[in-house]
Amino acid sequence: MVRVALELDVTPEQALLALRDDRRPFALVGDWAGGGALVGSEPLRVVTGAHAALAVLEESRGAAGEGREAAVGGGWFGWLGFAVGGAIERLTPGPPRPDPLPAASLAYYDHLLRRDSEGRWWFEALPTPDRREALEHRLALLAERLRPPARPRPWKLEGLAPRPPGYVGHRSAVAACLQRIAAGEIYQANLCLRFEGRLGGAAIDAFATARARLRPAYAAFFDLPGGAVMSLSPELFLRRAGARVETRPVKGTAPRSDDPVRAGAQRHDLTVSAKDAAENVMITDLMRNDLGRVCRYGSIAARPPHAEAHPGVWHLVSTVEGELGEGVTDADLVRAAFPPGSVTGAPKVQALEVISALEATGRETYTGAVGYASPAAGLELNVAIRTFEVRGERVWLGAGGGIVADSDPDAEVCEAWRKAAPLARALGAELPEPDPRGAPSSGALATRPPGPSAATAPGESKPALPWAGGPRPDPALGLIETLAVRDGTPLALDAHLARLAHSARTVLGASPPSGLGARVRRRAADAPWAWARLRITVAPGDDCLTWDVQPAEPAVLGSDDPVALAPLLLPGGLGEHKWADRRLVDACSTRHGACPLLVDLDGAVLEAAWANVWLLEGDRLMTPPADGRLLAGVMRAALPAVAQRAGLEASEEPVVLERLEPAEAVLLTSSVRLVTVATLSGQRPSSRGMLIAGRLREALRGELGLP
């Protein structure tokens, strides 16, 4: 260990900003390592993915880090995303992930800047013989950079608002969760509402400003290629110093006014709230059980909860401590307790399944853990709540709460808003007021829970639609792209390849190989049918992706025979990518004997199993917006121009299910069938609707040069 005192008068934010042009700068500010700040950059090694991160944590065990005030020196810094839970427990795939980040990312730094609890700065390092000279140079460079202090550059957070299905969808998810609790499936589940916006400027500047304003206990910033994680968390997940381990679950929330008298009354209300006490007791007991899996028998102790002040809210916070068994590694400890109980529920594994079924978007770093594992100072991880995540210019924030038997759906939505609002203000933005009328709604789900017997009380509504059920698509099984072939020629090939390339980069982090288009043309030329379909598959392997162009198969165009639709609820839909895993769609088609029509929890119609949906009303054609919940088809993009020439106005707008039955026609568009008429409940569309559908199909045939 090398420790050099530095004569510096800079804030942790200024120290971080001085490293902005380095590789992977990071900062942990607040109560970390006994209080102060840890700031660093230029790691020697980076690992990504759940299994790689857990393998790294296998290297550290309870012998290190005997005291909280010990030097840190360096170690592995980064995050374990919520998806790491899938590498620990056998779970069904989760909802779509609009902006996937690595499931985990840890980087090894052999030096850092540390500000101790008394405000003194140190250069700390874990040198090896071949790194001593480099570290001496690094010390001199950092000392120079920190004079004069760096300042934030301009930045702006814009448009932060709930992602669809928004207020109505989250309220419906809470109502569905209450039904599961009443049926005895779970005791509690933590459901998340996602807010999204645009960040102009650099995340490092936004974090420097927000951290200084909020001063949370476990703030963290990590830069990564093309993005960043900015955690402003108040919650300690795990702290291991030597063999001692501690967790401090936060569960139970009440508003906290700026007026001290009112704030005191709100604090009292929280401490006597039976609902909040139930939330806290269940999760504290869960954390006792989790630590008990790796701690010595009889060493677990829990302290009663107390109310702590945080930006805009009061929280109930408990403490659970124990002594690890001999030979327990940090990976063992993480496997025993991850994901944190306060952001999952009880029983944990079944709560994770409920979260997967009811949430509309997959979680990234949010509700995972952020922190470090140091050979000198042990392990310390926060619970990654109050966490902004950035990819490109897109920024998102998760907020939610624990749902128990007496939760109120509207109150739970407002609690999520209450938690998110101070964070938005710290970044110079204001959330729109929560508005239950601010999203489409066709009464897809009841907003009041059934009674304890799971029977529906008089005046209450049951879910109007069946749930899709079955496993969601597993991204690990890859992507597909299906296109039409006419007389040996692939149609709209450039558009299909562009869509596939976007999906591959977003989901798999890879671009199509050169020559893929030529391979498709060769396959298409071998098709002996005048009209065929051809499929491209992208499958992840051990070391690389496999891009396969399958032989063409015969296909049929759409017709005037209506396709029967079966409306099904699927929170968040299938997302904007075309998944190779078709189990959910195929199972729903078989179970209901019709083509699944996916509807979100806000009542919004999304798409059919193999097609985009259009609604004909008078001279207007409407299709649901491509807001990340549905696959934007190639024919969907081509239809507006064709419709305009036919005297129709085609546009995007939210469409609710109740508008489909009285419509003149419901149309499905796809690359292979072009335009197909569809219907609900066996009703046929109007004669005018049938006529217009036929004209649009023929116009698209002409657009594509078909006979």
Tokens 């051990």 appear where? 542
Active-site residue, selected from the candidate residues 13, 124, 196, 235: 235
98-150 pLDDT, tens per residue?
999 999 999 999 999 999 999 999 999 999 999 999 999 999 999 999 988 88
Question: Is the residue at 440 inside a domain?
Answer: no
Q: Specify the CATH number for the domain of residue 386.
A: 3.60.120.10
Q: Residue 66: its pLDDT value, please? A: 52
Q: Is the pLDDT of residue 282 over 90?
A: no
Between 463 and 88, the higher pLDDT residue: 88
Task: Give SS3 for 192.
Answer: strand
Mean pLDDT across the stretch 170-179?
96
Given 554, 585, 603, which residue is the final one in a domain?
554
> Are residues 513 and 364 both part of a single domain?
no
Q: What pTM does this model have?
A: 0.91
Residues 6+ apart with CB under 8 A from 339: 82, 84, 85, 348, 352, 367, 368, 369
In a domain, 657, yes or no: yes
**353 and 225 fall within a common domain:** yes
Q: Which of 13, 124, 196, 251 is catalytic?
A: 251
> Do residues 280 and 400 share a domain?
yes
Query: 630: domain CATH number?
Result: 3.20.10.10
Q: How far apart are CA 678 and CA 398, in angstroms?
A: 37
Of the listed ranges 320-324, 393-397, 432-436, 590-594, the least confidently predicted one is: 432-436
Report yes or no: 205 and 427 within 8 Å, Cβ to Cβ: no
Any domain includes 447: no
Structural domain ending residue among the three candidates 403, 426, 449: 426
The CA distance from 596 to 114, in Å, is 57
What is the DSSP track for 253-300? EEE--SSHHHHHHHHHHHHT-HHHHHHHHHHHHHHHHHHHTTBPTT--
Is the domain of 515 the same as that of 598? Answer: no
Domain presence at residue 676: yes
User: 649 and 524 share a domain?
Assistant: no
| Whether 361 and 400 share a structural domain | yes
Residues 377 and 414 in one domain: yes
235 catalytic residue (yes or no): yes
- Rounded mean pLDDT, 335-362: 95
The values of phi and psi at residue 593, to 5°, are: 65, 30
The rounded percent of the chain whose pLDDT value lies above 90 is: 80
Least confident of 64-68, 386-390, 676-680: 64-68
CA proximity to 155, closest of 429, 431, 432, 430: 429
Q: Are residues 548 and 600 in the same domain?
A: no
Of the candidates 545, 533, 552, which has an alpha carbon nearest to the alpha carbon of residue 475? 545
| 215/236 Cα distance (integer angstroms) | 15
Q: Determine how many CB atoms are found less than 10 A away from the CB of residue 7.
A: 8
- The number of distinct structural domains making up the chain is 3
> What's the CATH code of the domain at 536?
3.30.470.10
Q: Using CA atoms, how far apart are residues 213 and 386, in angstroms rounded to an integer?
A: 14
Tens digit of pLDDT for each residue in 214-232?
999 999 999 999 899 999 9
User: 215 and 286: one domain?
Assistant: yes
Domain that includes residue 617, residue range: 563-703
SS3 label, residue 685 = coil
The Cα 100–Cα 391 span in angstroms is 9
Pair 608, 520 in one domain: no
Give the least confident one: 168-182, 322-336, 422-436: 422-436
Name the domain boundary from 537, 554, 571. Answer: 554
> Does 106 map to a domain?
yes
* 600 inside domain: yes
Whether residue 458 is predicted with pLDDT greater than 50 in this model: the reply is no
Whether residue 550 is contained in a domain is answered as yes
My answer on whether 567 and 550 are in the same domain is no
434 within a domain of the structure (yes/no): no
Cα distances (Å, whole numbers) of residue 175 to 189, 194, 200, 445:
12, 17, 36, 8
d(CA 273, CA 253): 10
Q: Are residues 631 and 550 in the same domain?
A: no
